[in-house]
Amino acid sequence: MITKNEYTYVNKKSYLNWTNKSRQLGICKVEKGAANGSCKTTVTQAVKSEVSTEFGLSTTEVSANAGMNLAYSQTVSVSWASARARVGRTFKAWAVGKRTTFNTQK
């Protein structure tokens, strides 16, 4: 007897322009005496995403598992400069992009 497991994605949700508030990329504050009262931030960071799952097959004679792993890595560089701003003004840079969440169901 062969037991076959099928997996499907459920509760899939996508968020466009999602801001990752746990990953602040940089902060810039206009200090007294700053040239033209401007602020510049440059950040280079490696971003990695990974998904893995395992599928099983079993019989009275054979038991096996097959796995699947998908990893994606990209290096991102961001540079930004403010317009003239008053002394004390603070600018924060956050990671923004598409986020997808889901559950797997057997």
SS (H, E, C) 57-81: EECCCCEEEEEEEEEEEEEEEEEEE
Rounded to an integer, the average pLDDT of 17-26 is: 83
Phi, psi of 51 (to 5 degrees): -130, 135
Rounded to an integer, the average pLDDT of 18-37 is: 79
pLDDT band at 35 (very low <50, low <70, confident <90, very high): low
Task: State the pTM of this model.
Answer: 0.46
Q: How far apart (Å, rounded) are the C-alpha atoms in residues 41 and 13?
A: 32
- Residue 4, pLDDT above cutoff 70: no
44-98 tens-digit pLDDT: 777 777 777 776 666 666 666 667 677 777 776 777 777 888 888 888 888 788 8
Contact partners, residue 82, CB within 8 Å, separation at least 6: 28, 30, 38, 39, 40, 89, 91
